[in-house]
Each structure stands twice: as structure tokens, then as C-alpha cells.
Structure 1
């Protein structure tokens, strides 16, 4: 197997927090990889008029300029989501959509929050009774059963593939499938039953899930419905890495350095909680990126010994 590439800092999320973290980490001479797509950030579709120094501009323009800045300082980019993250020895191993496996000395989680729910009848009523928002957390409860995953991005596709090893049958319901060609090929070659071009209209069941009604009139006889919209969310990341969440169980708990409960893992932006504003995300990205680079440098020194002193950018 080809050796995994090791980065000082890998950043999950291509929004304002992630890009700012990439800028600051790169300026400290760290090797940086930024994972994600600009158009998956909520800022991409917004207009900004409450950020210092800006009267009014588009979020797309700000993100595009910010990404160019990060690249100018040496950051590398990969337009993919992380599917799996695990701690292996003193390195964090990250598997992306296309099957790339990378290693990071430090990780910055800046994926934002998934604010969307399906909003269909039965979803709220059957939450915890067959409806789940986390395959990694709850998939094991559905061994030998028939399940459905709802979503058209990497979290849903990856979740469906994960469930194949547990459930009797797995349906993937996607109004539009937007994943990498490699991940799409994996789905096509797997036993996942894809329902593309339709959407759920109701979760059915009395006391527990018994079916998922679709917009084409079909009803899937399933006992579990996993709603996985977007990229990997906070619950999945917390489950795989052991991150501590706040009392609401919606956001990652961090200290003033933007450090999480797991050494080498930092977080910034909306995933750390309100106010869900760009100004806060940028500030936290600055702190997280700087401290992640410092952590990676110290780890590298401990592992490899001192190297020639590098001048540090301010």
C-alpha cells in the first residue's frame, strides 16, 4: 500500500472558520490540507454587510478570496468530505470520499452545523424510535433489520455503505446524489438500493418506525430511518473521536485555545455554538489554526528531534 501522506494540520470545512484556520496555520509554516467545498458553506449563498471593513459583499466572493489567500501561503486543498476519522498511534487517520487516506498531526473541525431536518410527518414523533441522525451512533441497534438512509451527500452515502455490514437491507433515498465519482462507484457496486430523484414525504409507524413514504408513491418497509444531510455532523465526529459535547449535545466543547477534549483536535465556527456569525467563526478559526500548527510542530519535534529554526510569520 502506498504510504499515507502526513500533514501537520488537516482542516475539515471550507467555510470562514476553516479557511481562516488554514491561513493562520500555513503562515506558521505548517503543512496544511483544507478539506471541503466552498458551496457547502452556508456563507456561500449569503450576503454580508455586518463584517468589519465590509459594507456589503457576497459570501461567495469572500470565500473565494479567502481560499486564494490560504493557497498563497501554501495550504493544499481537496474538494472532498471526510468519511471516517480514527486515532492511530500518535496520528489522526482521515479517509475521504474518494478513498484517500491521510494522516494529520493536528485536526481542526470547522464543518459548521447541519441545520436542516426533513420536516415531514412522523420525523419528530419517532425520533429515538427508529429515526436517527447518526449512523455511527445508532447503526448497531438495527442489525439484521431493513433500514433507509436519507440524503444526497457524503454523510448519507458513507452511512449507507457502513450500514451494509449490519442491516439486512439498506435503501438510500436521495433527491439528488452529489458525491465524488469514486463514492458513487462504490455505491453502484454495493448492495445499497438507491432511490434517486425522490424525497421522503412521511415517516410511518405507531410508537416505532415501520415505513418511509416517498414522493413517487412508494413506501419502503423499514424499521430504521437515518437522516444524514450534508457532510459528517457533530454527533458522528464526537462518536468516532470521543469529543466532549456541550449540554445541548449539538456543539463541540472547546477551551479558549479552541482545543477540544481530545489532544490535537481543535474546533472553530458554528460547530462550537452560537452566535452563528461569520465574525465569530473567523476569530475562532484564527485561534484554532494557530494552536493546531503549534501543537503539530511540538509533536514533530518530540518525534523527530529539533530541526533548523524556522522564522515565524506574525
Structure 2
């Protein structure tokens, strides 16, 4: 039986493994796809304290190497669910079942994609899903933000401080995000709203060069020259398989506060998969540490009963 079972091999999950092992607990980490999570697609990470610049894949591999050297066991199997037993918990995968004293859910999120030609091919080459992560690479250039919620508005405001021009493309005639941000953007000379418009194609050979866009009202197609496109059309949580064990909000995120405690004792949520305002590498790492130490305390308290 393992002390801590960690579901998800991103920054939060690997940090939890490091802290769990350093606390003398035997941790096991499950990942069904790729170790490292979404950050592995980022060519450069420059917003993590103490590391001036590193690729997302190198950052992730360094975390994994550290966790494995400390004794974490990694299992590349898809988790299909978890269940509670009287004195322990069970992680169920497509292959077998694993008994654990506590569980940390670090399943992350996936960014909702536009699903247009050129998007996947140019991801990391001008297509980004995180303005705060990649915006600085487009200093002085013209870029586009796609979306109508608060995240898209915040991304456009952030980018307007560095980019020569920011086109904010939204499929409707009104934004869903905060009105105060809309008003601030309207006052910026380098921000232009392109409403009732959808992106049809992302063009470029090696890097993003332009967008083919469609005005839904007039039916007119046009080409917009940009060096980058920031997609902010929502994030998709992947927690449905745990809905019978822990409480989820209406968006499918695990309900858990800064203490990372879920509605079920001994089960914690860390990183982007939980309800939170800020989703960054630093907050994922912080959650991993908090969740691991909370799991250690739960194990100690349980042993005393």
C-alpha cells in the first residue's frame, strides 16, 4: 500500500511527489498521457522564480528527475476512477487497482481549442493559450486574442503593454467579461475590437503569419497579419470520473480552497484542476506542496485514531 497516490504528472503532481517523498512517505504518481502537462508545449518559461529561462519540457523533466531520485514510483496508466474503502482508498486504472492511504488529484486542465486549420501545427510557434506565459516573446509585434470572457479581456490588457497592436476577436457583438476591463481596453490606442467574427484558419510556414477571419454578419472573409494568436475560449476540467467521490463545481473543477482539501477526507486537489483564480506554474507548485503536507498530516492523524 502506498502512502500518497498522485493522479496527474504535471507541475502540481510532481511537486506533491517531491514533498511527499521528502516527508518520508511512499508516493506513486499516475499519468495516462505525457509527463509534464501543458507546460511541455511552451518553448520558453521565463516567469518561474529563480529560473531566468528554460523550456517547458526541460522544466518538467527536471521536476520528474527530482521526484524519481527521491523514490517516487511513476505508473503510466490511465486512471478510470477512485473509490473509498474502510481504512484506505483505491485508485483504479485501465490495468489494475492500487491501494493508497491518501490521494492527491492533480489532473490539470486542457485549453479549449478553436479547431481550425493550422492551430495544432503552429502551437508553440505563434499559437499560445497563455498570454502571461508567452506574451513577452511578442514585444513590439502585432498579435490577436480570441475570446469574449474575462480571461480574454485580461490577456488583451496584459499584451497591450508589450505589443504594438492587439486585435481582440470575439464571435459575438458583446463581451461576456468584466465591463470595467472592456472600458479600459476601449481607451487603449493599440487595442482594436473585431466583433461578430470567427477565426477560420491560422496561416504561416514555420511561424504564425496571419489569420483568415470571417465576419458572421456580412459574410466577408479577410486576412489579418499577426505574429501571434492567443486563444482564450475556455478551459476544460477532466474530473468527471471523480464526481461520485469529491464535489465538483458547475464547470467541473474540484471544489477545494487554498488548503487543497476536497469534500472527502484524505483526498486533496492541487493545481489547475481545483477551483481557483490564478492558474500558473507557481500556483501549481504551491498547491502540490500544500496538498502533500496535508496528506502527510492526514496519514499521521489517522494512525493515531
Report the TM-score range of the alignment, normalised by the length of the smaller protein: 0.5 to 0.7
Closer, same or farther: CA 58–117 of 1 in aligned 2, 3 Å: closer
- Secondary structure, counterpart of 1:114 in structure 2: strand
Q: Which digits, 9 at most, give the CA deviation of each residue in 1:221-271, with x for residues without a partner?
A: xxxxxxxxxx9922221x231x2234x433212133211110000011111
- Secondary structure, counterpart of 1:245 in structure 2: coil
RMSD of aligned alpha carbons: 2.2
CA distance, structure 1, for counterparts of residue 3 and residue 303 of structure 2: 8
- Secondary structure, counterpart of 1:57 in structure 2: coil
Cα contact 1:253–1:261 (8 A) shared by 2: yes
CA distance, structure 2, for counterparts of residue 232 and residue 94 of structure 1: 19
Q: Which digits, 9 at most, give the CA deviation of each residue in 1:29-86, with x for residues without a partner?
A: 1110011154461011112111111121111111111111111222111112211211
Closer, same or farther: CA 232–55 of 1 in aligned 2, 3 Å: closer
Q: Which digits, 9 at most, give the CA deviation of each residue in 1:75-125, with x for residues without a partner?
A: 11111221121112221111112x2210111100001013336859xxxxx
Closer, same or farther: CA 118–93 of 1 in aligned 2, 3 Å: farther
Q: Which residue of 2 aligns with 1:77?
A: 74
Are residue 110 (structure 1) and residue 106 (structure 2) matched? yes
Cα contact 2:38–2:110 (8 A) shared by 1: no
CA distance, structure 2, for counterparts of residue 54 and residue 11 of structure 1: 26
Selected match of 1:61 from 58, 61, 68: 58
Selected match of 1:24 from 19, 22, 32: 19
Q: Where in structure 2 are there 5+ consecutive unaligned residues?
A: 117-235
Q: Which residue of 1 aligns with 2:4?
A: 9
Cα contact 2:81–2:241 (8 A) shared by 1: no
CA distance, structure 2, for counterparts of residue 268 and residue 7 of structure 1: 19
Q: Which residue of 1 aligns with 2:46?
A: 49
Q: Where in structure 1 are there 5+ consecutive unaligned residues?
A: 1-5, 121-230, 303-314
Q: Which residue of 2 aligns with 1:132?
A: none
Closer, same or farther: CA 16–27 of 1 in aligned 2, 3 Å: same
Q: So what's the TM-score if we normalise by structure 2?
A: 0.56
Closer, same or farther: CA 83–278 of 1 in aligned 2, 3 Å: same
Alignment map for 1:178-257 (pairs within 5 Å): 233-237=238-242, 239-241=243-245, 243-246=246-249, 248-257=250-259
- Secondary structure, counterpart of 2:48 in structure 1: coil
Q: So what's the TM-score if we normalise by structure 1?
A: 0.54
Q: Which digits, 9 at most, give the CA deviation of each residue in 1:157-195, with x for residues without a partner?
A: xxxxxxxxxxxxxxxxxxxxxxxxxxxxxxxxxxxxxxx
**TM superposition shift of 1:293:** 1.9
Query: In the comparison of the two structures, how many residue pairs are matched?
Result: 183
